[in-house]
Amino acid sequence: MGNENAVSGKIEELEEEYSKTKHNKATNKHLGILRAKIARLKKEAAHKKTHHGTGFSVKKSGNATVALVGFPNAGKSSLLKHLTNVESKVADYAFTTIAVIPGIMEINGARIQVLDLPGIIEDAYKGRGGGTMIGSVIRIADLIAIVVDANAYKDAYRIIDELHKLNIFLNEPAPDIRVEKKTSGGIRFFGKIVGHEERYMIEALNETGIYNADITFGTPVDAEKFINYITESTVYTRSIIILNKVDLISQAEVDTLSERLHKDTGMDVLPVSASKRINIDSVKRELFQHLNLIKVYLKPKDGVPDLEKPLVLRKGATVGEAARAIHSKTAENLKYATVTGTSTKFDNQRVGQDHVLHDEDIITLFYYKII
Ligand SMILES: Nc1nc2c(ncn2[C@@H]2O[C@H](COP(=O)(O)OP(=O)(O)OP(=O)(O)O)[C@@H](O)[C@H]2O)c(=O)[nH]1
Ligand SMILES: [Mg+2]
């Protein structure tokens, strides 16, 4: 425990130094190193915490995971109940939910895990109100649904800001960075770096224990993105806004608020009333849409496709991944597949395991015989 306190004390100290330092060209380097140090200590602290068992660790299950994120009392638990039939305590006061409550939502043949989380609060990124642990759960989500009370729609901006400070970036593509560790030769960069701050990027690398590596950028990257990447503190997650409690405002207000939120954040906005069960089914469909999942139908060699039980995969999944989703062991014996659908030029086209499948493809897998 003493050690944990020492670590959090050190984090606080560094964060204070960070927030007191003016951001300008001269201090940039120092700030980057500070960030690298803070990130490393936070990781250490989070690691220690999970070993103490906090009720916050959660196992991913189903085809994909959605996290319901919002301030206290926004209606997250009410939503979980109507999306998944899992009871999570609902009450008319803040901080009702104090642990992660997972539920499973069934839609389009997919099983989507929905996580009801305790309400986050301002300065969650500093660890307030269990912020660090809530953040670590949010990071495993494939989609973040920001839940706001329609009467406090501006909370959405504050939540986006909090998530940003937790290094959870919404609807931004992840930078394309490859790090190949070496045993000698120092640090070498390949590709475009924005801002010519290689020196402090190297120092930050050294801070995380990397002294020799070839680093390749597929897309232009600046020092901040780079440092966040190497300290593994950043995730890039798709996100939408659920505007809850629309039963309390007029339809005209719903339209105005949805439009405003969409314009300001670029996110799709789904109006709903959890307690009055308005739009619940359309929220289910939209969540499925935003998870970028596809369905493929399996057809036995001499049979008809099973349209009842599609195989749900992430968009961009290959034949190999489909085989592994069915059975990890037999996938090793996959010889080829035949596919009918928009991913192929003609019906029953023979394809290899790297072939990328499309939604609604019909697929037959052929295996090597095991003797
Ligand atoms: N009018 C109205 N009230 C709602 C709606 N959804 C939830 N509520 C009410 O809002 C209050 C809070 O709902 P919860 O589902 O407990 O909210 P929460 O986000 O889980 O809250 P915490 O667990 O404290 O973070 C309860 O009194 C609900 O009945 C809605 O769509 N319309
Ligand atoms: Mg709750």
Q: What are the tens digits of pLDDT across the range 311-330?
A: 999 999 999 999 999 887 88
Which domains are present in the chain?
2-53+173-230 (no CATH), 64-167+235-290 (3.40.50.300), 293-367 (3.10.20.30)
Question: 63 and 312 in contact (C-beta within 8 Å)?
Answer: yes
d(CA 176, CA 61): 27
What angle is formed at CA 291 by the lines to CA 265 and CA 253, rounded to 5 degrees?
40
Which atom of ligand 1 lies closest to the CA of 90? Answer: 16
Within 6 Å (CB) of ligand 1, which residues are found? 70, 72-78, 90-92, 94-97, 118-119, 244-245, 247-248, 273-276
Residue of minimum CA distance from atom 2 in ligand 1: 245
pLDDT single digits (tens) 231-278: 766 889 999 999 999 999 999 999 999 999 999 999 999 999 999 999
Which atom of ligand 1 lies closest to the CA of 80? Answer: 15
d(CA 320, CA 315): 14
The strand pair at 168-170 and 235-244 is best described as parallel
Ligand nearest to the CA of 121: 1
- 3-class SS at 150? helix
Task: Give the pLDDT confidence score for residue 26 in this predicted structure.
Answer: 72
| Partners of 238 in beta bridges | 143
Does 98 have pLDDT greater than 80? Answer: no
> Which mutation among 96, 122, 249 tests ligand 1's pocket best, with the greatest number of atoms within 8 A of CB?
96
Nearest to 108 by CA among 362, 364, 360: 360
Does 67 have pLDDT greater than 90? Answer: yes
8-17, 161-170, 247-256 — which one is most confidently predicted on average?
A: 247-256
Ligand nearest to the CA of 101: 2
As given in the structure block, the two tokens for residue 359 are 């939604």
User: Predicted confidence band at 174 (pLDDT cuts at 50, 70, 90)?
Assistant: confident
Kindly give the distance from the C-alpha atom of residue 148 to the centroid of ligand 2, in angstroms, as a whole number: 12
What single letter denotes the amino acid at residue 135? G
Which atom of ligand 1 lies closest to the CA of 98? Answer: 23
Kindly give the distance from the C-alpha atom of residue 16 to the centroid of ligand 1, in angstroms, as a whole number: 35
Residue of minimum CA distance from atom 16 in ligand 1: 90
Task: Give the pLDDT confidence score for residue 282 in this predicted structure.
Answer: 96
Alpha-carbon distance values, 253 to 71, 246, 280, 353 (Å): 21, 9, 19, 51
What single letter denotes the amino acid at residue 299? K
As given in the structure block, the two tokens for residue 262 are 């969409």
Task: Give the pLDDT confidence score for residue 211 in this predicted structure.
Answer: 92
d(CA 61, CA 64): 7
Kindly give the distance from the C-alpha atom of residue 146 to the centroid of ligand 2, in angstroms, as a whole number: 13
d(CA 76, CA 106): 18
Ligand nearest to the CA of 91: 1
Instruction: Give the pTM.
Output: 0.79
- 3-class SS at 224? helix
The number of beta carbons lying within 10 Å of the beta carbon of residue 245 is 23
Radius of gyration from C-alpha coordinates of the chain: 23
The region of weakest confidence among 4-8, 209-213, 343-347, 362-366 is 4-8
The region of weakest confidence among 288-292, 305-309, 356-360 is 305-309
